[in-house]
Amino acid sequence: MLYKFGRCVCLQLPDPNQAVEFYKNVMGLEVVGQEGKAIELQAGHLRLFFDQGASMGPILEVLVPNVEKAKEELLQAGCEVVRWEGKGGCCYMRDPFGFVFNLYEEPEAFQD
């Protein structure tokens, strides 16, 4: 399966609003969206998301053509599921080295 890194980085924090205030007021980033407890900021070419939860370090977005197939392939390669909300939701995976990333299904990213 093909994998591509996306433009999104997520940080899970106990209080995401504090981080949003810092990045908005100190760093000058713009809040561009909010869905549930996840808050999205525009950071140049990147989109920065803050979500409530236990900190796992930066969570990079990894684009895949099929999230369910990618999840199964990565499980067989030694990864583990950290958070699975079903297709269309979060699919946080931890690689064998401790790095956490989110699989995001975007088939059009793989079209020529």
Query: Average pLDDT, stretch 70-81?
Result: 97
Q: What is the pTM of this model?
A: 0.85
What pLDDT, on a 0 to 100 scale, did the predictor assign at position 35?
A: 87
CATH superfamily of 8-63: 2,3-Dihydroxybiphenyl 1,2-Dioxygenase, domain 1 (3.10.180.10)
* Residue 1 predicted with pLDDT over 90: no
- Domains of the chain, by residue range, sit at 8-63, 64-99
DSSP 47-78: EEEEEES---S-EEEEEES-HHHHHHHHHHTT
Q: How confident is the model at residue 51 (pLDDT cuts 50, 70, 90)?
A: very high
